[in-house]
Structure 1
Amino acid sequence: MANMAYRAAIAAAALLLLAGCGGGDGETAAPPTPPTTPSSQPPAPAGANFNVLSCLTQEVAPGRPIASLVVPDSLGIDLNVPPGFPNGRQLTDPVIDLTLAVLLLDLKQEPVTRFVDLPLNPPANDVPFRAAFPYLAAAQGNPPIGPVGSNFNFRTDPASAYVRVDRMGMPAVATALISSSTKNKYNDKDPIDDNNFLFYDDIFNTLTGLTNALSDDLSAAGFKMCAVPN
């Protein structure tokens, strides 16, 4: 039943986003009201079982539920607003910390930068970025990595010149929300397949397992979770 509710929430989010893109009457649908979560949560016992539907339906911005960031697995950019994850991605954006925060924390009680603010990450890249494309510093290694794969011309080579190894539209989706047994199938598919409910159950179940496993640690550390105990 939880998975069916998740699918319904995703479908509603998709319809909302389509309506917000503009129509003949110029009206925009009102955003759905996400389920409420307790204002305070006692420490979760080990082995607790949580419902993560409220995490996927909470909004990261007005009219933008978390589910719409995860499905389809793509990262867009609006040139009318300043760039920065999740509006595009800059090299210095702490994308994993931000993504995990919106998937695990109650955004009504926690800032989206909650994990970013923890003094765990290095303050800067160990090697300065380049000033021109591809911007990333040369690969490091001992012995140094050879020139294999460096002869592509991204501006002129056809799509047939590349072989897909991984798809990483929205950071952390393929890494954290797709189960190990499904990763190859997921990487072989396209974002359009995400909208066909192909991986919804896997994402929901994986997020549930991740939440259940981390719930006692998150609660003990004082984080306000978005998931609700069953």
Structure 2
Amino acid sequence: MRLFHWFWIYLMLRKLFAGELTVTQTYWGGFVGFNFLMRGVFIAITAGTLGLYVNDQDWLADGIMNFAIVVGIVYCLLLARGQYRAMNNDRVPSFWSWAGLVIILLGGVGYGYNLFTFNINGLPIGRKAIRNEVLALNLSMPSEVSPGIVAERVAFENGLYQIVYSYAFDDLEPGRMNMFDGPDADEMCQEFSGYFRGPVKVLEFIYNGPTHTTTVFMTKEECLNHINDG
């Protein structure tokens, strides 16, 4: 039965890319439906690969995500060809047919941009992408990121990107600390620069220890000024 299902999917994709389906089927089923599917795929990959990053297997986690994004790019290009053929099957293409083709091509461009933002720090990351990331990360939490440190939850609201940890030690001072007063500011600033060039205004790491809470923060202005001055 599973073999039959895979064969049916293969036949449908073949018809889709060859332009043998209607324009409506190609756009709504082939493009809109595919994007809903890929949103779920990206969320599942983000949640499922957190453990790989914790275990210093970044290359594998990055490779899985890059592969999924490339699949999206190739799919949109093949689908655009199918849409073009479908809209020219024995008739004059309508305005909506051309609009659908343009949207499909823009979808491919969107996947391409995601590929760049995933691999290159500093490119602006949009609000929707951040919300999807937060949703995915929360699906995999709580998760121990190092001995004695457990990531509990992630939140993004009104420009505040917040990561909350339970912390088993008492070696941090209580209260709020500016990340630029510590040794890891430059690395964290570079890593989150794309977020700061997007909707994020403040980044906070909250460590809930045995006796007190410590909040380490970085602001958009400080980070971007640091990069510009560097």
TM-score (norm 1): 0.23
- Structure with the larger RCO, 1 or 2 (CA within 8 Å, 6+ apart): 1
* Greater helix fraction, Structure 1 or Structure 2: 2
* Greater strand fraction, Structure 1 or Structure 2: 2
* Structure (1 or 2) with the larger CA radius of gyration: 2
TM-score (norm 2): 0.23
